[in-house]
C-alpha cells in the first residue's frame, strides 16, 4: 500500500480516537452536570437543555455552514477531515448520550475539571492531525494559519459568550463559573497537546562512524543532516559533527540508530523554541 495512503489512514484513526475522548468528556461529565462548555458543542448543549433536542443532530446541523466556509481558506484536506470529524463526533455524542444516563461524578467541580481535560485532549489530538471538530475550532484554525495566536487562546475568548448564555436557561451564576472552569482547562489542555506534538529537538552527534549514522538517519527517519567540522581541544584531532533537527518523537529512532552503529558516540540533545522551514513550521507574519 502507498505510504501516503497509510499515513492518511493513520491520521483518520488518530482523529477518531480524539473524537471519542472529546465526546466522552461531554456526555460523561459536562452534560450530566448541566455544565455548558464552549464551541458549537456548547451551543448544541444549550439547545438540548432548553428543548431536549438531541445534541448530535443540532451539532451537525450548525457546523454545516462553517465547514463550507473553511474549505476555501484551509484547503480541501482540512475540509474533508473536518467533515469526517464533525460527522463522527455527532455520532459519538448521540450514542454515548444514549448510553450514559447517570452522572459518573456527582461533584460539579470535578465534572468540570475532568470533562474539560478530556474535551481538550480530544480536540488537541484532532488539531494535531490537521483536522477540526468544527465551530469555534474552525475559526481558531483559520486565524492560526496566518497569525501566531494559539488555537486555545482564540477558543477561550470566543466561547465566553456561549457559556455566559447558559444564565438565560439556568439563572445560575454557579453554572457559568463551572463552565468557565471547564473552558479554561480545555483551552490549556489543547495547547499542551499541540505543544507536545510540535516539540522539536536539536541533536549534535560526535562519532567516528558519522557517515554510517548520517546514511541511516537520511534513509530511515527521512531528515536532513548538516555535517560540521570540529576539533577536539584535548586530543587536537579533527572530527565531524552531525547536526540534526527533528521532532521529539523522532529523536528516539535516531538514538536507536546511534546505539546500533556506535554505542560510544557522544550525543547532545536540546529542546528548541521553534524551527521554521521545509518539514517543520511555516513562518507566519
CA–CA separation, 183 vs 167, rounded Å? 16
pLDDT in tens, 87-109: 999 999 999 998 988 888 889 99
C-alpha cell at 210: 558519522
Instruction: Tell me the C-alpha distance between 39 and 55, whole Å.
Output: 13
What sign for the dihedral angle of Cα 38, 165, 95, 111?
positive
Cell numbers placing 121: 485532549
The Cα–Cα gap between 223 and 17 comes to 28
Nearest to 39 by CA among 185, 128, 189, 161: 161
Residue 267 has pLDDT above 90, yes or no: yes
Give phi and psi for 276, each to the nearest 5: -120, 135
C-alpha cell of 269? 540533545
pLDDT at 75 over 80: no
Confidence of residue 82 (pLDDT cuts 50, 70, 90): confident
Specify the DSSP element, H or E, that contains 227.
strand 226-231
Our CA angle for 216, 219, 222, nearest 5°, is 115
Measured distance CA(67)–CA(42) in Å, rounded: 17
| Per-residue CA distances from 37 to 45, 106, 171, 185 (Å) | 8, 18, 16, 10
What is the pLDDT at residue 128? 81
Q: Cα–Cα distances in Å, from 112 out to 38, 93, 123? A: 12, 17, 16
Give the Cα separation of 249 and 142 in Å (integer).
27
* Start-to-end CA span in the chain (Å): 39
Domain ranges of the chain: 3-197, 199-272
Residue 236 falls in which region: left (phi positive, over 0), alpha (psi -120 to 50) or beta: left
Which of the four CATH numbers 3.40.50.450, 3.20.20.140, 3.40.50.2300, 3.30.70.120 does domain 199-272 have?
A: 3.30.70.120
pLDDT of residue 15: 92
Task: Kindly report, residue by residue over 11-67, the tens digit of the pLDDT.
Answer: 899 999 999 999 999 999 999 999 998 888 898 999 999 998 889 999 888 888 777
Give the residue with greater pLDDT, 86 vs 158: 86
Closest CA to 95 of 132, 131, 128, 57: 57
Name the strands in the sheet holding 238-247, side by side, starting at the edge strand that comes first in the sequence. Answer: 226-231, 238-247, 200-206, 266-272
- The pLDDT mean for the chain works out to 85
* Least confident stretch, 38-42, 67-71, 129-133: 67-71
User: Would you state the pLDDT for residue 191?
Assistant: 81
> Which cell goes with 11?
491520521
Opening angle at CA 199, ends 194 and 201, nearest 5: 175
Q: What is the pLDDT of residue 178?
A: 94
CA distance 186 to 120: 4
Amino acid at each position: 500500500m502507498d505510504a501516503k495512503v497509510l499515513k492518511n489512514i493513520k491520521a483518520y484513526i488518530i482523529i477518531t480516537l480524539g473524537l471519542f475522548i472529546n465526546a466522552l468528556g461531554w456526555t460523561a461529565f459536562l452534560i450530566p452536570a448541566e455544565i455548558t462548555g464552549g464551541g458549537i458543542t456548547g451551543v448544541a448543549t444549550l439547545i438540548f437543555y432548553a428543548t431536549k433536542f438531541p445534541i448530535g443532530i443540532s451539532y451537525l446541523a450548525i457546523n454545516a455552514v462553517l465547514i463550507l466556509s473553511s474549505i476555501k481558506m484551509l484547503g480541501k484536506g482540512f475540509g474533508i477531515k473536518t467533515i469526517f470529524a464533525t460527522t463522527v463526533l455527532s455520532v459519538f455524542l448521540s450514542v454515548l448520550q444514549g448510553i450514559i444516563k447517570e452522572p459518573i461524578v456527582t461533584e460539579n467541580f470535578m465534572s468540570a475539571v475532568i470533562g474539560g481535560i478530556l474535551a481538550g485532549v480530544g480536540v488537541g489530538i484532532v488539531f494535531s492531525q490537521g483536522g477540526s471538530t468544527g465551530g469555534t475550532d474552525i475559526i481558531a484554525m483559520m486565524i492560526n494559519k496566518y497569525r501566531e495566536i494559539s488555537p486555545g487562546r482564540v477558543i477561550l475568548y470566543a466561547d465566553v459568550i456561549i457559556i455566559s448564555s447558559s444564565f438565560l436557561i439556568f439563572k445560575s451564576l454557579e453554572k457559568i463559573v463551572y463552565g468557565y472552569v471547564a473552558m479554561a482547562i480545555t483551552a490549556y489542555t489543547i495547547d499542551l497537546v499541540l505543544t507536545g506534538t510540535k516539540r522539536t529537538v536539536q541533536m549534535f552527534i560526535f562519532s567516528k562512524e558519522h557517515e554510517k549514522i548520517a546514511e541511516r538517519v537520511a534513509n530511515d527517519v527521512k531528515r536532513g543532516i548538516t555535517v560540521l567540522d570540529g576539533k577536539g581541544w584535548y586530543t587536537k584531532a579533527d572530527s565531524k559533527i552531525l547536526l540534526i533537527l527533528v521532532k521529539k518523537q523522532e529523536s528516539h529512532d535516531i538514538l536507536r540508530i546511534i546505539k546500533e552503529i556506535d554505542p560510544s558516540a557522544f550525543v547532545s540533545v536540546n529542546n528548541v523554541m521553534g524551527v521554521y522551514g521545509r518539514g517543520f513550521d511555516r513562518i507566519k507574519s
